[in-house]
């Protein structure tokens, strides 16, 4: 996609201080990616891979007392986010950068009506109040598919279904007219039908507004519907990034391959899911080498000695010494494969 990057992330490290004398742990390690206006990048991986931590860092929501953030570059629309004072963050967060959180009920204030909450966002980011804010709130509720907005505007969150609450959260994120929308597991708690409606809504809103979308998920089943590019994370590191169609057709990292094999089949087909043995290691648990090596059928001596170098593949790349396509080792160490 042509044009300058809207969001630039280069060599992002996020380290959490250890409690009660424990060593600090790096949750995100050397992460790099960029997003252009109108583009959708999906950040995927199992729980514990650092996806949501990355999103919170981009929103300036990590506790500075517990988390230390470093990066060669962390810029949004030319603004250095690492140097941004908190007063400026309040204007940017929820405005030019919007976010949809995993749990809509937790994201909404239970003792305020949805109309009041959207109105507060409109007042903060667009200077609207009174009748103008209420009219715009009604328009936003209609835009995100809330039936009978004039009746629902004075409802409290508990009176809405999970899908309706998620639509309200999307309306609040849109209130600031964001140039970048971060959607963190936006359909996790929803049934399949409502999930499809929310994904279609996001795609339509993006087409109408031209905003960039960072979709964070562990579900590759929804990625193919929205993403232009996919970045795969494992244990805090990016292990593969490719255009979506290429990644689905020709995964080049063993972890990506296993994630794709673990997808539930569509169309009612029945099959046993291909599980990935083991679990994602805790932050800081891997002293050296590739963190996926203990779970990888292609692992070898070189994998445990150093983090694999990034290998460029067309418009993307992969961090692995083994070439899945060629069935060959891409390192000088050609030792036998571990079982």
Q: Is residue 102 part of a domain?
A: no
Q: Is residue 274 part of a domain?
A: yes
C-alpha Rg value of the chain to the nearest Å: 21
* 196 shares a domain with 75: yes
Determine the Cα–Cα distance for residues 339 and 322; give it in Å rounded to an integer. Answer: 14
Q: Please, where are the H alpha helices in the chain?
A: 51-58, 86-92, 104-107, 114-126, 130-143, 149-152, 162-175, 192-209, 220-226, 244-249, 254-261, 301-305
| pLDDT tier, 3 (very low <50, low <70, confident <90, very high otherwise) | confident
* 202 shares a domain with 85: yes
pLDDT in tens, 281-305: 998 888 789 999 999 999 989 899 9
Q: Is residue 336 part of a domain?
A: no
Domain boundary among 172, 191, 218: 172
Q: Is residue 337 part of a domain?
A: no
Residue 1 in this model has a pLDDT that exceeds 60: no
Q: Is residue 270 part of a domain?
A: yes
Q: Kindly state the average pLDDT of the residues 193-199.
A: 90
> What's the angle, vertex CA 310, arms to CA 216 and CA 242, rounded to 5?
45
Percent of the chain beyond pLDDT 90? Answer: 75
CA proximity to 292, closest of 283, 275, 304:
304
Residue 335 in this model has a pLDDT that exceeds 70: no
pLDDT in tens, 135-153: 999 999 999 999 999 999 9
Is residue 267 within 8 Å of 244, Cβ to Cβ?
no
pLDDT at 339: 25
Determine the Cα–Cα distance for residues 183 and 30; give it in Å rounded to an integer. Answer: 22
pLDDT at 181: 97
> In the predicted model, what is the mean pLDDT of the chain?
90
Determine the Cα–Cα distance for residues 216 and 280; give it in Å rounded to an integer. Answer: 17
Q: Is residue 265 part of a domain?
A: yes
* 118 shares a domain with 43: no
Residue 87 in this model has a pLDDT that exceeds 60: yes
Structural domain containing residue 13 = 5-96+176-329
* 280 shares a domain with 222: yes
* 71 shares a domain with 214: yes
pLDDT at 20: 63
Return the higher-pLDDT residue of 265 and 203: 203
Residue 334 in this model has a pLDDT that exceeds 80: no
pLDDT at 190: 84
Domains in the chain: how many in total?
2
* 33 shares a domain with 92: yes
pLDDT at 18: 78
* 270 shares a domain with 318: yes
- Could you tell me how far CA 48 lies from the centroid of its own chain? 12
Q: Kindly state the average pLDDT of the residues 156-169.
A: 95
Q: Which long-range contacts (CB under 8 A, 24 or more apart) does 262-265 make?
A: 263/220, 263/221, 264/221
Is residue 183 within 8 Å of 139, Cβ to Cβ?
no
* 208 shares a domain with 138: no
Percent of the chain beyond pLDDT 70? Answer: 92
* 143 shares a domain with 185: no
Determine the Cα–Cα distance for residues 214 and 52; give it in Å rounded to an integer. Answer: 11
pLDDT at 102: 85
Domain boundary among 129, 146, 172: 172
Domain boundary among 172, 198, 214: 172
* 194 shares a domain with 141: no
* 153 shares a domain with 71: no
pLDDT in tens, 222-281: 898 899 999 999 999 999 999 999 999 999 999 999 999 987 765 555 455 578 889 999
Residue 106 in this model has a pLDDT that exceeds 50: yes
pLDDT at 306: 93
> Which helix or strand (DSSP H or E) is residue 180 part of?
strand 180-184
Determine the Cα–Cα distance for residues 225 and 220; give it in Å rounded to an integer. Answer: 9
């Amino acid at each position: 996609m042509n044009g300058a990057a809207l969001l630039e992330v280069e060599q992002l490290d996020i380290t959490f201080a250890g409690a009660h004398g424990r060593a600090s742990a790096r949750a995100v390690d050397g992460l790099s990616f960029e997003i252009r206006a109108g583009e959708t990048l999906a950040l995927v991986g199992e729980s514990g891979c650092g996806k949501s931590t990355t999103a919170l860092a981009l929103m300036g929501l990590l506790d500075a007392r517990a988390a230390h953030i470093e990066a060669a570059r962390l810029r949004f629309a030319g603004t250095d986010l690492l140097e941004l004072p908190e007063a400026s963050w309040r204007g940017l967060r929820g405005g030019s950068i919007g976010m949809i959180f995993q749990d809509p009920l937790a994201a909404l204030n239970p003792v305020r009506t949805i109309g009041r909450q959207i109105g507060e966002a409109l007042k903060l980011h667009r200077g609207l109040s009174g009748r103008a804010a209420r009219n715009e709130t009604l328009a936003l509720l209609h835009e995100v598919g809330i039936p009978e907005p004039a009746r629902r505007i004075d409802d409290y969150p508990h009176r809405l279904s999970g899908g309706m609450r998620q639509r309200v959260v999307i309306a609040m994120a849109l209130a600031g007219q964001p140039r970048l929308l971060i959607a963190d597991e936006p359909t996790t708690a929803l049934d399949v039908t409502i999930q499809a409606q929310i994904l279609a809504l996001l795609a339509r809103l993006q087409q109408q507004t031209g905003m960039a979308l960072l979709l964070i998920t562990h579900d590759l089943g929804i990625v193919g519907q929205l993403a232009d590019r996919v970045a795969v994370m494992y244990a805090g590191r990016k292990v593969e990034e490719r255009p979506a169609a290429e990644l689905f057709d020709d995964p080049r990292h063993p972890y990506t391959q296993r994630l794709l094999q673990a997808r539930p089949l569509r169309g009612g087909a029945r099959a046993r899911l291909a599980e990935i043995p083991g679990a994602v290691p805790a932050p800081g648990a891997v002293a050296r080498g590739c963190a996926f090596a203990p779970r990888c059928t292609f692992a070898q001596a070189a994998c445990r000695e150093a983090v694999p170098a990034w290998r460029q593949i067309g418009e993307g790349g992969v961090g692995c010494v083994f070439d899945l396509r060629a069935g060959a080792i891409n390192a000088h160490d050609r030792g036998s494969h571990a079982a």
